[in-house]
Structure 1
């Protein structure tokens, strides 16, 4: 009888141990850091990062948790964010690929003037269509979403831009190397800097203006520091910027399959349309706020817009020549991107 009881106790204990240990393994918690360069009030955090994090925390039953660090509060400068996520300093980052020139040559196609047409949703969906075409650029990270904003307006401090000639000689903040080429093609002087440095540069009159969308001009106080904003005819913008929401590959690989699926189900094509709509909706609100504050917001005439477009076309040609020298089919990427964007704009 004693032996039988010992056998039953041992068996029961084994079952309890198995249940406790396996349940513990599956219930393991994961806490990931999210690092970005804008303020916690910026659309990047309010529209994308916070809702995304909360949704995944809920769907994982609390097994995944996130700590968000805005305004480079984990240290470093905005151009270092890509290296931080690649090397595991941060688990997830939201950044601008253009801050690390030459690292993402294929991704650049979507920020070229004349490729993006002002519809963030259409371009986001085109990016998803072309993920295989740009995969080489993203091989060292786990991309969660590559997306764009509605497009750059030109904001100036003291000179209203009414013609192509008006920009000549101005010092203008550009968002990326292709943006710098665009400014050069106008006869202006490009000044490269991450967007958080923009308010100080404007207040100190180190630059005459900047290329950014209205949605970020509001939280950065650029509206208060400039007096004039201009778009091209019909609301066409001066190119855009691409953004990268990405995860460290080892951090992603550390997850069990069920949690990986939750991340996958809330990334890429699953959120590209929604985020595009959000950015499209935010931009006119930012423009209205600028107008309500008494800022001059105008559009160039058709004739003057044509002059800017002609100069911008040369930027696209320059980009094609430059990336073709690296063995990349730049012309093919431009044609494919334009076609995909046009299809998603219908």
Structure 2
């Protein structure tokens, strides 16, 4: 008995001698696209490496693409909130109606064609209006992608009338509202479902960024790619990079500080810049494959902007009816974008 007590005392003493700051943790983050697509390549993986290095190896970040830990892209937020995974990349718009205030950043022609600038504005807008929406997770970054492009089978869109009757994939409610206003039949779907829908003829095309085009094989599945004229994006999409709240709060102070140092406005801008780099790469691939690449004329772009303004006014009216201060949300989103552009 004495020997057992002595051994137990030595073991307990040894455990007590290990400082709390020596704790090591493994964090499992998940996303829903190819690891070769822009955000994972230029942001998620480098972010994980940076966190590991700055924690001196005490934080290990495992990144799982293609929803390898289970679930689907639309329920990613709940997977993080419920602790099924430690963190992940979330598109709030994949759950229409759940995060309506975030839609202000996604309205037609709201953002510039710079993902970096749009993402900085998205972080500022989030701090002002959306923190209550994400109160049950820990927010690391809020960002946007680059400009949304129309990708379709057959010849490119050149006039507004060319949208008539097209079945086009849309990623969010504002995007599908715009497609409907243009005369298309919008089909809401998450990005992983888009290639199969194209291959099976469920859709004629859809809107998504240049950067996602190669990983989705849009050079093979579509024939033409159309952007609007000017420096404003046809549409944009709002993302968050989040962590389970209890896991974050359970980290030792010094490891939590590492996460904090890799969160916020600059981190959001970094995530947006990743999309800018990816857009450059994706455009080059589509161009090299000989697909038709078109920019609409300023006149046609103005027609689309007018229809986009109608979408915005309809959205303000709808959200006001739901009890939100929608006009302020729109005004503040626009002001955040313009303030960043003026920096």
After superposition, residues 147-296 of structure 1 pair within 5 angstroms as 147-234=143-230, 236-296=232-292
Match of 2:3 in 1: none
Contact 1:112 1:239 in 2 (8 A): yes
Shift of 1:25: 2.6
Q: Distance in 1 between matches of 2:76 and 2:213?
A: 22
2:57 to 62, 82, 87: 62
Tell whether the 8 Å contact from 1:96 to 1:242 is kept in structure 2 after alignment. yes
Counterparts of 1:193 and 1:299, CA distance in 2? 25
- Provide the C-alpha distance between the structure 2 equivalents of 1:22 and 1:317, rounded to a whole number of angstroms: 64
- Give 3-state SS (helix, strand or coil) of 1:255's partner: coil
Which one has the largest radius of gyration? 1
Contact 2:34 2:66 in 1 (8 A): yes
Q: Where do 5+ consecutive residues of structure 2 fail to align?
A: 1-5
Runs of 4+ in 1 over 3 A off after TM superposition: 16-20
Q: Conserved in 2, the CA contact under 8 Å of 1:152 and 1:211?
A: yes
Whole-Å separation in 1 of the counterparts to 2:61 and 2:227: 38
* Gap runs ≥5 in structure 1: 1-9
Does the Cα contact within 8 Å between 1:119 and 1:345 map onto a contact in 2?
no
Matched, 1:297 2:293: yes
Q: Does the 8 A contact of 1:31 with 1:64 survive in 2?
A: yes
The equivalent of 1:146 in structure 2 is: 142
Q: By how many angstroms is 1:97 displaced?
A: 0.9
CA–CA distance in structure 1, aligned partners of residues 146 and 80 of structure 2: 26
Contact 1:235–1:299 under 8 Å retained in 2: no
1:4 match: none
Structure 2 contact 151–206 (Cα < 8 Å) conserved: yes
8 Å contact from structure 1 (residues 185, 315) kept in 2: yes
Correspondence 1:115 to 2:110: yes
Offset, 1:328: 1.8
Q: For residue 3 of structure 1, what is the aligned residue in structure 2?
A: none
In the alignment, the residues of structure 2 paired with residue 113 and residue 271 of structure 1 have an alpha-carbon distance, to the nearest angstrom, of 25
- Which of the residues 21, 26, 30 maps onto 2:21? 26
Alignment of 1:86-125 (within 5 A): 86-125=81-120
TM-score, normalising length from structure 2?
0.92
1:125 counterpart SS class: helix
Distance 1:319 1:229 in 2: 27
Deviation at 1:61, TM superposition (A): 1.6
Contact 1:173–1:207 (CA under 8 A) maintained in structure 2: yes
Q: Which whole-Å CA distance do the structure 2 matches of 1:44 and 1:117 have between them?
A: 18
Of the structure 1 ranges 179-188 and 314-323, higher mean CA displacement relative to structure 2 is found in: 314-323
Does the 8 Å contact 1:29/1:63 carry over to 2?
Answer: yes
| Secondary structure, aligned partner of 2:18 | helix
TM-superposed deviation, 1:80: 1.2
Q: Work out whether residues 105 and 137 of structure 1, in 8 Å CA contact, stay in contact via their aligned partners in 2.
A: no
Preserved CA contact (<8 Å) 1:91 1:247: yes
| Structure 2 partner of 1:71 | 66
C-alpha distance in 1 between matches for 2:308 and 2:50 = 40
Q: CA deviation at 1:196?
A: 0.9
Cα distance in 2 between the residues matched to 1:39 and 1:280: 17
How far residue 132 of structure 1 moved from its aligned partner, in angstroms, is: 2.7
CA displacement at 1:20 relative to structure 2: 5.4
- Does the 8 Å contact 1:151/1:241 carry over to 2? no
Q: CA separation in 2, counterparts of 1:306 and 1:50?
A: 39
TM-score, with structure 1 as normaliser = 0.92
Superposition CA RMSD, Å: 1.9
- Distance in structure 2 (CA, Å) of the matches to 1:281 and 1:43: 7
2:319 to 312, 316, 323: 323
